[in-house]
Amino acid sequence: MAQYVADKRDVDFVLHEQLNVEELSKHEKYAEFNKKAVDLIVNEAKNLAVKEIMPTRELGDKEGCKLENGKVTVPESFHKIYDLLKEGEWIAMTEDPEWGGQGMPRTVALAASDYFNGANYPFMMYPGLTHGAGKLVEAFGTEKQKKIFLKKMFSGEWTGTMLLTEPEAGSDVGALTTTATRNPDGTFSIKGNKIFISSGEHNLSENIIHPVLARIEGAPAGTKGISLFLVPKFRVNDDGTLGEFNDVICDRIEEKMGIHGNATCSLILGGKGKCVGTLLGEENKGMKAMFLMMNEARALVGQQGFGCASASYLYALEYARKRVQGKNLLQFMDANAPSVPIIQHPDIRRMLLTMKVYVEGMRSLIYYHGNCSDKADIVSDPNEKAKYNGLVELLTPIVKGYVTDRSYDVCNLGMQIYGGYGYISEYPMEQLVRDCRITMIYEGTNGIQAMDLLARKLGMNKGKPLMDLAGEMQKTIAQAKAIPQLEAFAVQTEKAVNKFGEVAMHMGMTAMSAKVLNAFANACLFLDAAGDVVMSWMLLWRATIAAQGLQDSKKKKDAAYYEGQIKNVDFFNNVILPVAFGKMKALLNTNGAAIEISDASFGG
């Protein structure tokens, strides 16, 4: 166990036993990342997370960020750990070493990030957004833009953000009012207000590079007329040195429920008419370009929520083992019976096992999602490449939406296990609950993720990604059916997969019918059911590997861990999956009450 961050045994299981990540080293691109190298990287990340980053989680929460005269200071303890991330080249783990990256597989980077985000994800937002902004420069920048910005961003010398949201244009980005006016030298004068900008102003780096969505004067209305611009806090000369301040003013940082260590800023661009940006990519193609960063950001948000859940489970498990209160239920009538650790109480065990199955299943899902990206990068067959890219697209709203929903549930259970102490800020649970809650909202609310799954991903490429996902599930089911102790669980998962296929077809048809609003009123339930079925598959997959491990005499020391994997799928399929069947039954009804009720009938 990595102390209150991530379970090392489980991380290793997913990397090496479930996904066989070292297989990627057979390809030239990842030749240097054999098992020894992967273990070295992940252990270094664990040590950095546990020894250096984790101690700053509470400090950052209590100290928070401060705004004075347009300048934001972050918690003092963040400076050292940011320098350590830069020195270790952890900010752009998957990127080309030419630009300051390590060139590692995404699956391996996710394992490192598992530890980092579990240790202090509000801090990790600074490097996380920097990497995402750098990817935009890499994908859409001119050679000059890449030369000036990319290495300094991927190395962490400069940081980055993402400027989308405005006071009247939140989820409806097409309603933005920020303008871009052409200048004779080919640059653009930018003017507008952006809000809720994570890491928008701070003192961790000497420059902050803002990808900004704005509308060039005369461009079409809505998303079709949005362009993307690169707007640095300080202008950058052609030789890479810093020029004058670029009229990007922070006039407010939000007082928030959680993530106090991250500066959530309101920014005024061009308030004095001196904000200049350069076009990033093509005119009026900004929204399409920004989706590259947003999809990465959505997967990152899933991992942020998961980091809270992972830490919450490890804290709760340790607390339940040490907290002595109440008699064992079987000795309740014995006046002389001693009090026992609360882990012996049935309801505590139920909550712990619920936390365990979600945390371990979600870890597998997150890593699998990244592993599909790795495979898409290295396969030569265009059909295989399309398959893996399709799986990434299909699973992204589940990784963001379902994972953050369940992660918040896990954190709430952790607080419940602590009892009254969980509600007190002296203990870690209340911060984890607060920090986790935003992950269900930003980078597209989970309602938007559900709409994305239903409207875009379900019918993408005539439904092939969904069929490919079902095919992968059926492979696991066939393997599990051949193992006597797993056969019943495999049958349960198979029934769920088949039922979900029926539901998906029904929802797709309803979304294209006169009852389209009914379909979208049930979209969140659809996302929830999809996640439950995927979770059943992941847990069955893990149990299949564990059952084989129990037959290996060389793995006796892992017997308890493997037995736990089999109990995971036993619990999930017999306690949680039946509820998923209820959800799917409700989806086939596609109830329209939420649409049919009049506004006045809501009361108030």
Write out the catalytic residue numbers. 443
Contacts of 92 (CB under 8 A, 6+ apart): 99, 100, 101, 102, 131, 134, 153, 154, 155
Measured from the Cβ of residue 559, the count of other Cβ atoms closer than 10 Å reads: 12
SS (H, E, C) 520-549: HHCHHHHHHHHHHHHHHHHHHHHHHHHHHH
Q: How far apart are CA 117 and CA 5, in angstroms?
A: 8
**Neighbour-count burial of 381, counting CB atoms closer than 10 A to its CB (0-12 exposed, 13-18 middle, 19+ buried):** exposed
Conformation bin of residue 146: beta by default, left when phi > 0, alpha when psi is -120 to 50: alpha
**What is the C-alpha separation between 149 and 163, in angstroms, rounded?**
17
Nearest residue to 68 (alpha-carbon basis) of 250, 260, 267, 275: 250
Are 304 and 119 in contact by the 8 Å Cβ rule? The answer is: no
CA distance 23 to 129: 30
Distances (CA, A) of 362 to 359, 421, 431: 5, 27, 21
The residue type found at 490 is: A
Rg of the chain's alpha carbons, rounded to an integer?
25
Contact criterion met (CB below 8 Å) for 417 and 351: yes
CB 541 within 8 A of CB 486: no
The tokens of 240 are what? Answer: 């890479």
Distance CA 28, CA 277 (A): 39
Q: What is the largest CA-CA distance in the chain?
A: 89
Neighbouring residues of 3: CB distance < 8 A, sequence distance ≥ 6: 50, 54, 314
| Cβ burial 342-355 (10 Å sphere, 16+ → b, else e) | bbbbeebeebbbbb
- The whole-angstrom separation of Cα 367 and Cα 470 is 18
Which residues are within 8 A (CB) of 602 and not within 5 positions of it... i.e. 6 or more apart? none
Quick one: CA dihedral 389, 393, 496, 480, positive or negative? positive
Beta strands in 3-122 (DSSP E): 66-68, 71-73
- Among residues 412, 410, 588, the alpha carbon closest in space to that of 508 is found at 588
